[in-house]
Structure 1
């Protein structure tokens, strides 16, 4: 035989998720319902009216019928159930407190695990113990996170079990209370001429509850009582008046109050003493259990403090590894002095450590931005250095050609030698040429020839010096013009114009070999420094490329999230519009039901109540007036909804127009706010009108009750005037009319409830639309911030490109000046040279200058073409962005266009 299947309960994770909101709210109890209309019992539902006798009667009948089969307990069993409820409630409160504390520790462990797992892989910082220590700390943090989550699941399961156990005693106690009240309730009786117990009572007025000693012990309290308990005036009394002593003859107690017996009192005292002893023993056991639980809780708190202390120490080690120099003095976490004493301090230290870690991450981000700028400058300098090496190689080839023409056997250096070696080679070659010129001058035998040659050499060198001076003068004029244009545009002076790295040049200085030699030496020093910077800049370029690839992915992810938030906002707006349409349909159905009610009441009028026909006509006229007023209210409500919808569409049109003009957008937003305020004022006015109409409906109900009373009096007079047959006919007519009136009142009450629910739905819809508008404004503000940040990045990129162009131009000018310099003479006096060598050198210099200028112009045109292409691509990217462009926002002011 198979064993019965065990019930499968929810797992630990499901229970923790179910208690998540309660943990956030601190396990606060739900606020009880409050209905100010019920003054005697305000803690009732908003849909019940305790002043309505029909509604109270129906609720009483339902409660009495449902509680017939409930079990009735003894006093000892009731006391035991109450003690069980008290004990379980205390354990539940303690379990809730433990779960709240453990959930906080779990959140801290999760944050610590995320901190270890989110470290930068490219960082070169290492702790004293190396990577193994960080991996061990990460594993330990993960184990603590799993342990805390498992502890939370166990506490949630324990709390769920205790709450489930508490439901049994509470249910039995409530059923016992309902059964006692059902047994002691007794309905009012009727006279012999009234219908039997199975028929409906006159005017639907129920009987009143009586005391314990005036009722029978039978569980069927709906049986008809005897004729001696009937009172005609009880038909016209309210419920609260029927609970007291009636104006007629006094009531008779069906059960006499028994006399006290000494033996029974002693037996009761002995039983009470025994119960007190048992209760004391149970209280002692409960006290021992509570002490055990308190010790367990203190142990848990002490363990939590120790874990937090270890966690804070590891967090301090992580912060120190971020920046050992600055964070070496980070404070130590406090020691645990006792259970629960240092828990708050440990949590505060954990919060402080997390904030410090976040600041270190921000500092690393700023350092990466600085490295990006350095990499850009390094790339520009590297390109300039490459061009300088090419120009030096061209100059070296020209010197080698000159040596070959002079028939000098000098070894040719390799093309891939460093720039410094190539410059050394050029210096040696120039010295060899000078030596050959010196030997040629020594071999000259004619003084006139020597003088003529010296004059020619001097003329050539003077011409070269003039060309150099003219080039420097042009460079200074260009710098002055650029500085003047930047000052006219209000820009700060360029760093390149203010730099002091260049040698001070006097354009009016006369030619001398010493000046020529000094400029050649300065060029050599510049080339050496560029060579040293090349290796550093290559490393920075590589790092910057890796950072750029990551930043582009983050920007794409952020733009995608902004687009999804905008789509969610639009979906919320569509939902609010659908809710408004449903509210209109419900209001139309309510009006149709009211029309059907009027037709039904007109068709069911009886001919036996002609004496009160005029009063009923007046009542119908008032109901028609109320219907007209309700129709007017519905029309006003529909008009207000249409007005709100129209204004909402106008506001959307104004938002689209705001993309072209920021000032007009602000004015339209102010108009939209005024329109919303007017709509809210109109809604408030409608609510006031509805309250007035409800008061009128209450007055109509009072008139209906008065008419019912007059009909009853008229019926009694007719019974006295006519015989029993006329009395039966009048009673039948009164019963039919009272049932129709009760149905009419119920329908009116139902319509009032539907109208209130419709108004509540409309108010909620208005609140949701306002909240969605606020969310939309917040999203658009964030989008504007992102776009402005992108514009700043673009402007910085353009500034870097301009700076790169300036540095390239300066390096080219420096290399051109290097070509024009002549090495100093080893003798320091006049230099002789042959006419053929000097003329050839001058011609080659002119040809080289023409080629370099032509090449520079071509490269400048290529750079300008690339810049225009990049600007076109950037504008295309702006146009492809959602919202019509990057430079402006659908709700914000127009962003200034990016300067070209």
Structure 2
């Protein structure tokens, strides 16, 4: 299965009933027997044996020739037998199926490598056998002795040893291949049993049999109906459950010819079963293809999202760097401002405040921002106390009468200014509350405007400033978190910008009110100079000043100082008014006229006081009602919110712990990612080197093939020369025998001539012929030696070519292994990285929905990655199949080149 081809032994690996046979003893045949069994496979290149085809069954050519697919009875019997046999087969889980497929794939790769090695070693063995035959001594019955004699006895021994070593290596490889093929049979058998069990479980029989068995009707002519397993499914292991009543089978169609099965016979009877236009398997295949296309699109979308997240990560890192720079600048500015504030406090009273603590140094990382703000708050409180002390000391030094007159005038001015300040403070507090609510910061509503509400407004402003400081502190604390920096910084920036706009608009409104009041006093005939005591220091404020963190900090400090000084000023004025009233009560006899005036003023003030008290009572009633409503609301909501609050707090703690874990795991992932990138670069370098070596090996193989071809041509020429020389020698010998007779005759003539004193000329001719014959024999021996040397060189070149091919195969295997390791490592890192990205965020709000969404997305991602792994395995199998085909083609080409000539076996001289 899965394209794995193995050598199957005769018989089945499991019995017909689905149960396993008792385990057979682990018997491994003899190595020589194994090598003999693989001999035919080596000749055919391990081509798969083709099963007998049935030319009649054109739709399923892999079926047996004895099976008639058009016979429903035979198909029914085969189906029932298969269902009965596969009833007890074990059904595996998806993980077990994946593991079995991985085992089959791994064993298949190892088997292919072992087969390639065995084929190469068999060629080495054949070459060694040929060399051993070349150097073997002549047979005893041969009377001819070799020209080389016994000088090659050492070479013969070496050739014999090399032959034995090659045969031993081939036998070891054959034993290893047999073991691997035997190991491959078990996962294939389990996977086939799982497939048969699944098909048996999802099979349903025809409704005719169930109906007839239900109503007790006999089968027509004892022939069962045709199964409909191709279009019906069930979830039970019982394949005999009755199907729905919407399908019927006309058993009379069994006796119709095949060309009349479509309902066009002379009877005109129509089958009650409508033949489906499209097979459900084809529809399922189409659906699977559509799902694969959707998964590919989803994968592309996820890759685009990953790239977008990387871009956002880079932008967030840039923004974080900018925010850290702004925070460090803010720390430095706060340090400078605190130093100036300390100088001002020391200038108030150098003797007592000379040892006032100095602010801490700015670290530049945002850690000292909270301490700088706390020091600023403490310095402002100390400055307010010093101002209060100076105001008290100044009030005791002035004269009572002048103080009373100034107090009355100042009281009137302060009363109007206090009313304006209360309105301004109320509007400012309301706008600040709206801005904080828009920034998702909970803040109670500001107090209503009433007499004596300035303290409440100032307290509310202080609380608001503290809230802003706490928000700033929280933003500084959260600046270390990469995932929340951007949102918190934007929120703090928006809040600060909104507060800056509120303050600037408040200043503009105050200036507008002052301008209107001055115009009114001018129209009433009053001098504008009379209200110089009402002019505050806010007239020097630039209304068009742009927002900056330093300007905002200065503005907040100034507001705090103004609010504190106004509060202290009000207390001083109230005390002066009380003192003035005491003086007026003591000098009643001396100031009768003033008393009448004061009485009139007192009556007016009393009327105003009555109005204020009435408004205060109304406000108190409204406040009491609001407090009652608030208490009721708190009592009703406390019980409902306590559990939720505790749960949210627990979740927040868990989420904080999770955030810490995620940060540590993110750092680990970053480290592992860096290591993996380094390893990937190393693997890429190794892959490039392997490709270079493979290219060099291909080049050397081509050169060796060209050299072998040249040597073959040269060997052919030498053989032709040997044949020609042998022919010339035969002709010369025949001519010599014809011209001078046989050797015995020439010897007799030579003996007779030696006796004769006149044989000098004949002796010289005989000596000349002997010399020519010796030179001819010497040339013939040289030619024979050269041919043997050329044959040796050819054998060496063939061995080098086989070594190059073996090295090429090893390099290809190494490249495939490296590529597989690279892709596995990249896939694993992608899974880890995507799993980290798909984890739920650290926000406490919407915990349940986020977890559910993340879980669903994680499941979808796992399914997507499983499909991608399956696709990668299919591509890998296709690549291996292509590689095997190319190797088969190379093998066939080499066999084609070797046909028609004897690579080893030069002609021996005769």
Superposed pair shares fold, TM > 0.5: no
User: Considering only CA atoms, is the larger Rg found in Structure 1 or Structure 2?
Assistant: 2
TM-score, normalized by length of structure 2?
Answer: 0.30
Of structures 1 and 2, the one scoring higher in RCO (CA 8 A, sep 6+) is: 1
TM-score, normalized by length of structure 1?
Answer: 0.30
